[in-house]
């Protein structure tokens, strides 16, 4: 009897990076825009250099903590929902395994298998791990995509802090006389580079992504600087 040996060839897909790429880009983007906008606002209001530094540091810390708390609560809610769904699915499997088998088989038929093959696939997968099969194919829950609140919170806080550290460094190093222009100009560059880096990892057009991120960041800083100039002390 001839034996066939199947060797999987390595494949690399861009979608493998979507989860962490989105979180990292979002956090760093928020860090740059939030901190640079705060600095632009208080600088336009003619605040002292010490006040601007304090604002930038406070923005970094508060933003990182806010991102961590918000992401933790959001992802923890998702994890609770997944846990409840899995518990309900386990009960249904114990109560009526035949109905659950038909349900799983119907899912595979919708994906293109004929009824006989779908029935065999469902039977084999349920024999191996019924809950895992239903979690993956009925509920869309898998081990690689399951919610991890602590990991998500740490990633969001870390990426925000990295982004916020960039305009903070500019505040510490740039000349005080032209600080507002330095912060805005470098923030636009940082945002463009971030957009280009995200596009390179995701396999999308570099220029379009860089311009999109830079445009909205510039808009946010412009609005904040305008508010600061309107309500700040006269020069």
What is the tens place of the pLDDT at every residue in 6-47? 455 455 444 444 445 566 777 888 899 999 999 988 988 888
Residue 174 buriedness (CB in 10 A; 0-12 / 13-18 / 19+) = middle
- Dihedrals phi, psi of 228, to nearest 5 degrees: -65, -40
Query: Band of the pLDDT at 145, cuts 50, 70, 90?
Result: low
Which is more confident, 8 or 88? Answer: 88
pLDDT above 90 as % of the chain: 20
pLDDT number for residue 54? 94
Name residues whose C-beta falls within 8 Å of residue 186's C-beta, 6 or more positions apart in sequence. 166, 167, 170, 174
Global confidence as pTM: 0.69
Which has the higher per-residue pLDDT, 229 or 16?
A: 229
Report pLDDT for 14. Answer: 46
Is pLDDT above 50 for 52?
yes
Using CA atoms, how far apart are residues 122 and 116, in angstroms rounded to an integer?
A: 10
Does residue 3 register a pLDDT over 60?
no
Q: What is the pLDDT of residue 90?
A: 83
Q: Is 112 left (phi over 0), alpha (psi -120 to 50) or beta?
A: left
Q: How many degrees, rounded to 5, is the angle at CA 121 between CA 120 and CA 123?
A: 65
Beta carbons of 187 and 217 less than 8 angstroms apart: yes
Domain boundary assignment for the chain: 23-228
Range of weakest confidence among 47-51, 151-155, 167-171, 180-184: 151-155
- Tokens 């508060």 belong to residue: 62
Nearest to 30 by CA among 227, 194, 196: 194
Angle at 226 between CA 43 and CA 57, to 5 degrees: 35
**10-14, 71-75, 120-124: lowest mean pLDDT where?**
10-14
Q: Are 183 and 170 in contact (CB under 8 A)?
A: yes
């Amino acid at each position: 009897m001839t034996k066939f040996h199947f060797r999987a060839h390595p494949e690399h897909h861009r979608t493998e990076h979507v989860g962490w790429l989105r979180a990292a880009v979002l956090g760093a983007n928020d860090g740059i825009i939030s901190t640079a906008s705060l600095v632009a606002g208080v600088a336009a209001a003619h605040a002292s250099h010490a006040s601007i530094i304090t604002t930038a540091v406070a923005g970094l810390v508060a933003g990182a903590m806010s991102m961590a708390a918000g992401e933790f609560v959001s992802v923890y809610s998702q994890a609770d929902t997944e846990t409840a769904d899995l518990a309900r699915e386990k009960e249904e499997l114990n109560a009526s395994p035949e109905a659950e088998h038909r349900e799983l088989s119907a899912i595979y038929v919708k994906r293109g298998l004929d009824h006989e093959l779908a029935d065999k696939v469902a039977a084999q997968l349920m024999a191996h791990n019924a809950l895992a099969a239903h979690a993956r194919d009925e509920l869309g829950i898998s081990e690689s995509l399951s919610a991890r609140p602590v990991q998500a919170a740490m990633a969001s806080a870390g990426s925000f802090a990295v982004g916020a550290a960039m305009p903070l460094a500019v505040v510490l190093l740039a000349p005080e006389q032209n600080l507002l222009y330095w912060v805005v100009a470098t923030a636009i560059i940082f945002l463009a580079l971030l957009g280009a880096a995200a596009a390179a990892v995701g396999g999308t057009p570099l220029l379009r992504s860089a311009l999109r991120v830079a445009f909205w960041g510039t808009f946010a800083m412009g609005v904040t600087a305008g508010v600061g100039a309107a309500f700040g002390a006269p020069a």
